[in-house]
Chain A
Amino acid sequence: MTFLLETLAWLVDPANWVGSGGIPTRLAQHLLFTLVTLVVASVIAVPIGFLIGHTGRGRGLAVATSGAFRAIPTLGLLTLVALWVGIGLNAPYVALTILAIPPILAGAYTGFEAIDRKIVDAARAVGMSEAQIVLRVEVPLGLPLLIGGIRSAALQVVATATLAAYIADFGLGRYLFAGLRTRDYGEMLGGSILVILLAIVLEGAFALVQKLVVPRGVTAGLPTDIRDGSSRSRPVMEPTIEEGNSHVHST
């Protein structure tokens, strides 16, 4: 229980809320870092993802690459890049942009792939150009999954940015490492709680955006829960036999 009190005391201590090492500054650093990383990664990944999704080419390569990236330990990448480019903010920027690319890429092309081919064919049939198909059909319909990809990238960046305080003096992660070093439970727990809150708030915000970007035409025709009911329409009682009408009714 004393830990809880220490944490609370640390969180409400006015000294921790001012200056260059204060919570608002560190929080802003953390958020700005996340934002910049996501924007840069999106600028790289989204066009490539759209290209893969639209043409259907290079999917195997993209899946294999993102699978391999999942296996690469973030801490290893961070420390290695830090040795290459030196201690400071450059290393986390490089490492985290690399890590944020695969989920955004996957979100971009799976968003296109999830679209019913008939819709794309219909768009082509009514005379839309390829550019129009991409911008006015595939992008709006694939947007929720793209946002989903950015959402998982954002979570990963927020988490790994905490870890990046190991190699650079920035962000909320600093409290965790400082607290661990001096065995200051209030600081390490307080910092941890701040990071967890930040991650959960971001997760909630992205979930909301993901819901909001679903085009209205899509939600209108959607059953509320597709898991309801049987997979096929099946009459409880056999339909009355119509004589002379022996067609096999298809399901």
Chain B
Amino acid sequence: MTWIWSNLDLVWDRTFDHLVLSVPSIILSFLIALPFGWLAHRYRTSRAVILTTVGLLYAIPSLPLFIVLPFIVGTSIRSPLNLIIALTLYGVALMVRVVADGLGSVDRDVQQSATAVGFSGWTSFWQVELPLAGPVLLAGLRVVAVSTVSLATVGAVIGAQSLGSLFTDGFQRGIQAEIIAGIVATVLLALVLDALLVVIGRLLMPWTRPSAIGVTSRHDVVAREVTA
């Protein structure tokens, strides 16, 4: 415990570094996954191609990707940008499938009703399908947020500063408290971002607040499958 109190500044700095790596990655992966998820949902050929690609992408271990990526995109290995790109790729790999599943969970009758009352494909996507897929997307984004925060620590072994630096430093100097502080801080950060996403979800989708009716919709089922 004494280590933590005397090194609070360090933990705080590393937490900030960690946020710089993870928050842009989470937001970017959501934005990039939307069009690809839609494509995977809409056409059968693009579905096969996209879902196979993201499956393989997700299979790539993080450390080798951190090392190979700079030689492909031209960043330096230690730069935060390299890590942000890699973390975004993993986020996209997770999220594309969720977007496709979420859009697929929208009742066909609702979609056809939207078309019937005169929504174009574009407006129907933004005003009908996307909001209805919202709960599934939120569940997926929460998984992305938690795993991105956890994954960002790996960058420490190649010299990119994050909460993971507390692990490498603590290991090299044999300070258990430093490693434990790093683990606790990482988990807390993940929980905070997760809670933040839940709050944002409540604000954007007021209809999803747990109601007294106790109806389990198809979205709840898909959302639960996503988090399992």
In the complex, residue of chain A having the shortest beta-carbon distance to the beta carbon of B182? A76
The count of residues in chain A whose C-beta lies closer than 8 Å to any C-beta of chain B is 50
Within the complex, what minimum Cβ distance (angstroms) separates B22 from chain A?
12
In the complex, residue of chain B having the shortest beta-carbon distance to the beta carbon of A77? B183
Main secondary structure of the interface of B (DSSP, over half): helix
Within the complex, what minimum Cβ distance (angstroms) separates A62 from chain B?
10
In the complex, residue of chain A having the shortest beta-carbon distance to the beta carbon of B55? A203
Within the complex, what minimum Cβ distance (angstroms) separates B104 from chain A?
7
In the complex, residue of chain B having the shortest beta-carbon distance to the beta carbon of A87? B171
Q: State whether A63 touches B228 (Cβ < 8 A).
A: yes
Can you list 6 A-B contacts (CB < 8 A)?
A74-B154, A79-B171, A189-B71, A192-B65, A193-B68, A227-B104
- Asked if A155 is at the interface (CB within 8 A of a chain B CB), the reply is yes
| Contact of A162 (CB < 8 Å), options: B61, B77, B153, B167 | B61
Q: State whether B183 touches A196 (Cβ < 8 A).
A: no
Of B27-35, B122-130, B172-180, B197-205, the stretch lying at the interface with chain A is: B172-180
- Asked if B79 is at the interface (CB within 8 A of a chain A CB), the reply is no
Contacting residues of chain B (182-226) with chain A, CB-CB under 8 angstroms: 182-183, 186-187, 190-191
Q: State whether B60 touches A177 (Cβ < 8 A).
A: no
Give the complex CA separation of A203 and B143 in angstroms.
21
Q: State whether B62 touches A167 (Cβ < 8 A).
A: no
Give the complex CA separation of A185 and B228 in angstroms.
40
Give the complex CA separation of A232 and B112 in angstroms.
13
Q: State whether B64 touches A203 (Cβ < 8 A).
A: no
- On chain A, the residues within 8 Å of B168 by CB distance are 75, 79, 166
The count of residues in chain B whose C-beta lies closer than 8 Å to any C-beta of chain A is 49
Give the complex CA separation of A191 and B65 in angstroms.
11
- Asked if B13 is at the interface (CB within 8 A of a chain A CB), the reply is no
Q: State whether B157 touches A188 (Cβ < 8 A).
A: no
- Asked if B81 is at the interface (CB within 8 A of a chain A CB), the reply is no
- Asked if B150 is at the interface (CB within 8 A of a chain A CB), the reply is yes
Q: State whether B63 touches A176 (Cβ < 8 A).
A: yes
- On whether A159 and B158 interact (CB within 8 A), knowing A75-B153, A75-B167, the answer reads no
Q: State whether B167 touches A73 (Cβ < 8 A).
A: yes
Q: State whether A72 touches B68 (Cβ < 8 A).
A: no
Main secondary structure of the interface of A (DSSP, over half): helix
| Contact of A230 (CB < 8 Å), options: B108, B182, B190 | B108
- Asked if A37 is at the interface (CB within 8 A of a chain B CB), the reply is no
Q: State whether A159 touches B71 (Cβ < 8 A).
A: no
Give the complex CA separation of A83 and B77 in angstroms.
28
In the complex, residue of chain B having the shortest beta-carbon distance to the beta carbon of A62? B228
| Contact of B59 (CB < 8 Å), options: A78, A80, A203 | A203
- On chain B, the residues within 8 Å of A177 by CB distance are 157
- On chain B, the residues within 8 Å of A185 by CB distance are 71
Give the complex CA separation of A195 and B146 in angstroms.
25
Give the complex CA separation of A69 and B70 in angstroms.
30
Q: State whether A75 touches B59 (Cβ < 8 A).
A: no
| Contact of A79 (CB < 8 Å), options: B62, B68, B77, B167 | B167
- Asked if B7 is at the interface (CB within 8 A of a chain A CB), the reply is no
Within the complex, what minimum Cβ distance (angstroms) separates B156 from chain A?
7
Within the complex, what minimum Cβ distance (angstroms) separates B114 from chain A?
15
Give the complex CA separation of A77 and B186 in angstroms.
12
Give the complex CA separation of A167 and B156 in angstroms.
14
- Asked if B23 is at the interface (CB within 8 A of a chain A CB), the reply is no
- On chain B, the residues within 8 Å of A199 by CB distance are 59-61
Within the complex, what minimum Cβ distance (angstroms) separates B143 from chain A?
7
Q: State whether B108 touches A180 (Cβ < 8 A).
A: no
Q: State whether A155 touches B59 (Cβ < 8 A).
A: yes
Contacting residues of chain A (193-248) with chain B, CB-CB under 8 angstroms: 193, 195-196, 199-200, 202-203, 207, 225, 227, 230-232
Give the complex CA separation of A122 and B90 in angstroms.
43
Q: State whether B179 touches A188 (Cβ < 8 A).
A: no
